[in-house]
Amino acid sequence: MRALTAKLLDRSILLGATLGLVARQYDLPSKQFWSDATLERPYVVVALVCTVGVFGALTPFQSYSGRRKVERRAVFRQQVLANFGKMLAVARNAHPPIEAGDLGLHIWKIQRSFRHPLQGYLRRVVTYRLGNTPTTRSFAPTKGVGVVGLCWKRNEEVSFDVRNLASRLTDQQGFENYRATEGADAVMGLTWSEFQRVLHRGAVFASPIRSRSGDFIGCVSVDARHGHDDMDVDDFWHEVNSLCSRIGHDDFDVL
């Protein structure tokens, strides 16, 4: 049961019981109606009072939903770490091997704001990195910006050898010329200053999270300092896509 559904159930039952007590107090729809109701069912008023007390103080559906969410979150994290471990096993075969603490996994979700009320932007909802506390730079891309933005724009898997690109575009003029010639997608839709902020992550992969109807609702991205070609293999993509499929079905609400 989703948190919003549980909240609506609690509020609806509380409202219904409260309205029943008010109607009894003011003899609505009539005094005869309540006389007949309480004569045949003397427990009605007591039941209404108990319902108001229980659903007003304990919110049972919300409490149940909260416990279920905690349980599902624990299961989900185990699943993420299982997929992440298999991705890391592939990354360790890179030359040189990618350190465990370097590989980062990020889950993104479309979010709307006053600045982006219609199309929205991608908000990073969680980051996983082994061995240390995840440190990430602020990044909230729109469609077509960054590898995750290109994933959104194309609604398909996207990878970028950022390290190779950075070795060729070492100054702003060269970057601007390349962007003008090859198009914005060739530089991940970034400006020169934005490119400078992300080039330390030399290999970036992103795969879409789709709803049951096939709509893009977010994505999973994985990045490291190097090793693009070594990780751009079927085994690696299989783990990324498996995680995306799991999240798309029912796990986005536990994040």
Between CA 99 and CA 158 the distance in angstroms is 23
For the four alpha carbons of 109, 226, 97 and 100, in that order, the dihedral sign comes to negative
Low-confidence residues of the chain: pLDDT under 50 = none
- Cβ-contact 208, 157 below 8 angstroms: yes
Between CA 226 and CA 74 the distance in angstroms is 31
- Cβ-contact 13, 52 below 8 angstroms: no
Name the one residue in this structure whose structure tokens are 């914005």: 184
pLDDT at 32 (0 to 100): 81
Amino acid code (one letter) for 214: G
Between CA 153 and CA 194 the distance in angstroms is 18
Start-to-end Cα distance in the chain: 15
pLDDT at 62 (0 to 100): 82
Between CA 31 and CA 22 the distance in angstroms is 13
pLDDT at 100 (0 to 100): 87
The count of C-alpha atoms lying within 13 angstroms of the C-alpha of 170, restricted to the half-sphere facing its C-beta, is: 2
* 103 DSSP assignment: -
Could you tell me the CA-to-CA distances from 179 to 102, 106, 151, 165 in Å, in that order? Answer: 29, 27, 19, 12
| SS3 call for 18 | helix
pLDDT at 15 (0 to 100): 86
Strand partners, 208: 219
- Cβ-contact 109, 252 below 8 angstroms: yes
